[in-house]
Structure 1
Amino acid sequence: MMGLMPSEETRTMTPPTVRSPAAHDAGKEGGASGRAWTMRLLVLGIVLSALNLRPAITSLGALLEEVRDGLGMSGSVAGLLTSVPPLCFAVFGVMAPRLARRFGAGAVVCAGMVAIATGLLVRPYAGGTAGFLAGSALALMGIAVSNVLMPVIVKHWFPDRVGSMTGLYSMALALGTALAAAVTVPLTDALGGSWQTGLALWAGLAVAAVVPWLPFVRGRATPPGAGEKATEVATPTQGSAPASTEHARVEAPRLRMSRSRTAWALAVFFGLQATAAYITMGWMAQIFRDAGVPAGTAGLLLAVTMVMGVPLAFVIPRLATRLPHQGPIVLALGVCGLAGYAGLYLAPAAGAWVWAVLLGVANCAFPLALTMVGMRARTGPGVAQLSAFAQSTGYLISIPGPLLVGILYQHSGGWGLPIALMSALMIPQMVVGFLAGRDRTVEDEAAR
């Protein structure tokens, strides 16, 4: 306390700065205006970034057959290709907090958008499967760091609106996912039928997402603070925007997430929902095409699955923050997933639109998982560490799923075994999601 309180001598020796009422009011108005514009720019950056976090994957899912033919891929290699996203998310996502501590969260997200744009532009023309995988990995690296840092940015800048901002971010993510699934095939046809052009055009959206983050590149107003004994936190000053802040040093001890049962439950839940999501994004259009559905319609069905997340991704996080236990939401989403898989097995073409809707509802486990990341930690540094742990561990867990589906599909000659695998994985997802939804914080558990 002595270090924080000015002494009597200091108070008497240092006269206060006298400002006229007019100057005081002008400073307040200028500061409020600057902060308002900064917040608007930040919201725009979050939305545009979220729009770019899935088109690299779903645009490929819509054209997977054409890419396989063009590059001479087998079903197993295509399964490997659909496993690349979670692998990159696991490897690069764990680096995000460290990069953000060094360069600032805004700079890292901005660099992530640049990586997405570059990877999407390069991969169709890199030549061969290896070059395609390298370009995809570059784009996915940018997605990985942004995935981890978005909950941190929301927690820091919008601590009283975690549910609504997570919902907005998740809505934009779902919209970008659905948009890429719906229009990639028609745009490819309109531009001459080249799958290279159809995939490369999504680089333009990533370029647009770079712009709002440029003012945040040199500021460190959103520090994740994970892993430091002391981390910088923004302290807004009068008459200045949040992007240009003074920094106070506060204690932020590193948590041992491996000690927290809640962290493990959330990580496994994240991994299993990611497994279902990447199998859906990578293979669902092919399931419908093999059932006799035209390629364009199959892309639209995938888009329907993805677009279900637009309204539900806004509703579910807001509902989750109002409930003491998020387990009932987890169970409801799981039941929809089981019903959708049963429909894919029994009548994939006849009830295609119904199964697409049900699987779209089930895929909303992703925004629920993001919301629980923000709710299961009390502090910004805690959210950063939990986000990195849950996402990196979860994506490692999800790697074998899409690859195994490709192997089963190739060697069984049908979709019966892959769909049975998807259904079986939904059961443990519901169990660990129910456990992760309990009203606990990782700070309490990791400190024991």
Structure 2
Amino acid sequence: MTTDEVNESTPRSTAGPRRGTPRGMRRVAVVALVLAALNLRPGVTSLGPVLEEVRDSLDMSGSVTGLVTSIPAVCFAVVGSTAPALARRFGASGVIAAACGVLAVGLALRSFTFDPVLFVVLTALSLAGIAVANVLLPMVVKQRFPDRVGAMTGLYSMALNAGASSAAALTVPLAQAFGGDWRYGLGAWSVLAALAVPPWLALARRRAQPPAGHIGGAVGPPPAVDPPPAAGGRLSRNPTAWALTAYFGLQASSAYIIIGWLPQIFRDAGLSAGTAGLLFSVSSLLGVPLSLALSAVAGRLRHQGGLAAAIGVCGFAGYAGLWLDPALAPWLWAVLLGIANCSFPLALTMIGMRGRDGAGVARLSGFVQSLGYALSIPGPLVVGVLYDHSDGWRLPLTFVLLLTLVQIAAAVPAGRDRQIG
């Protein structure tokens, strides 16, 4: 067993300092979290703005293009499930450092390949690094900042949204700065990924000290603990874990539907392409400030179900507005859907608060995210099929409204003040 494995995976004595990490290393941990979070989406959102150029350059067929756009959810579902085992073997910080390295190499190499199949393979390699880091960041927050789970989750969620929005906005200007070559526009994001490696290597050399029975920064009596289910405490038999999985998967499905279809909905309603793009940007950029605020609030609550349900209601109202008339109040619909997108950092906060310790959070995060992302895959595809086989957006949006109602229902048990032992 490695030193890092002992430091990051083994539960400590209940006696110990309140802080999870010495003051100096806490600063390094903050930088590491922010840099990792900035890299969790550019590998995905940087491709869309230059996808047409990539297809033309690589002579990529429509089916291969569809495969590329479906890789994120598949990688998050499949590869993310391996992250807890890797963290137990090598330590979370070391694994995240390696994941950022893999991401940097994959992004750099895919930008200079001339084979469409190899482009798909290298895209999958890049997103495998993202998937692993995606699962382990909640574990690191629990270990290093046990008294500030909500606030730190909000901080890295805000950085995640900033990275996603920046990649979507800056990839084309970066390509134009290098003579209009899409390869440089995509490859530039490998530099950002490489910058995340050193602070994680530094963290891998230092231990995190958990507090004495302190969970998530909330005040009041200790929360109830879900007893370990049969068969060694398998998460598959824990109702709270399944509620979190349902909530996470449904919010992810909604997010992919917004990313894939919201501009088209507005354009089909008669709005210009520029206006539709601006409305989509509003729905994305709202997540930057709201992620930090909502996660901080959630970290101070013992029950997050009401907050999660309220965010779901905003999403329902936004989709209902689109169903009624996208052009009637498009800015209002975009704002409501932007608020609904904040269910992602809230879900991460709840994962961090439901696990008892870092190892438990890693297992729960892997379970919830792998199955949740798998659950999210059909949603955008069904919306596309319904759109192709119906006259307008009423039928697809009816389907989305039903999904949102289920998400609201899952929010209440997912936000219960329970700890998974």
Smaller-chain TM-score bracket: 0.7 to 0.9
Change (3 A) 1:360 1:290: same
1:161 counterpart (148, 155, 163)? 148
**What is residue 363 of structure 1 aligned with on the other side?**
341
1:98 counterpart (85, 90, 104)? 85
Change (3 A) 1:301 1:180: farther
Aligned length: 383
Deviations 1:376-432, CA, capped at 9 Å, x for gaps: 122222212111111111111112223333444455585444433322211111111
2:355 counterpart (372, 377, 398)? 377
Q: Does the Cα contact within 8 Å between 1:82 and 1:278 map onto a contact in 2? A: no
- 1:144 Cα offset (Å): 0.8
Alignment of 1:104-143 (within 5 A): 104-143=91-130
User: Structure 1 length as normaliser, TM-score?
Assistant: 0.77
Alignment of 1:5-404 (within 5 A): 35-67=22-54, 71-74=59-62, 78-217=65-204, 219=205, 221=207, 255-288=233-266, 297-348=275-326, 351-404=329-382
Structure with higher Rg: it is: 1
**Rounded Cα–Cα distance in structure 1 between residues aligned with 2:242 and 2:297:** 23
**Rounded Cα–Cα distance in structure 2 between residues aligned with 1:404 and 1:79:** 14
Change (3 A) 1:58 1:289: farther
Of residues 111-120 and 143-152 in structure 1, the stretch that sits farther from structure 2 once superposed is 111-120
Give the SS at the match of 1:441: strand
Give the SS at the match of 1:95: helix
Change (3 A) 1:80 1:359: farther
Give the SS at the match of 2:355: coil
Change (3 A) 1:420 1:81: farther
**Rounded Cα–Cα distance in structure 2 between residues aligned with 1:66 and 1:289:** 22
User: Structure 2 length as normaliser, TM-score?
Assistant: 0.81
**Rounded Cα–Cα distance in structure 2 between residues aligned with 1:298 and 1:437:** 34
Q: Sequence identity of aligned pairs in percent?
A: 55
Change (3 A) 1:297 1:56: farther
**What is residue 217 of structure 2 aligned with on the other side?**
none
- 1:357 Cα offset (Å): 1.8
Q: Given residue 439 of structure 1, which amino acid in structure 2 is its aligned partner?
A: D
**Rounded Cα–Cα distance in structure 2 between residues aligned with 1:286 and 1:65:** 16
Change (3 A) 1:407 1:59: farther
Of residues 341-350 and 357-366 in structure 1, the stretch that sits farther from structure 2 once superposed is 341-350
Q: Given residue 162 of structure 1, which amino acid in structure 2 is its aligned partner?
A: V
Deviations 1:137-176, CA, capped at 9 Å, x for gaps: 1111111111111111010111111111111111111111
Unpaired stretches in structure 2, ≥5 consecutive residues: 1-18, 212-227
The alignment yields a C-alpha RMSD, in angstroms, of: 2.9
Change (3 A) 1:127 1:350: farther
Q: Does the Cα contact within 8 Å between 1:175 and 1:310 map onto a contact in 2? A: yes
Q: Does the Cα contact within 8 Å between 2:146 and 2:210 map onto a contact in 1? A: no
Q: Does the Cα contact within 8 Å between 2:28 and 2:203 map onto a contact in 1? A: no
Q: Does the Cα contact within 8 Å between 1:55 and 1:180 map onto a contact in 2? A: yes
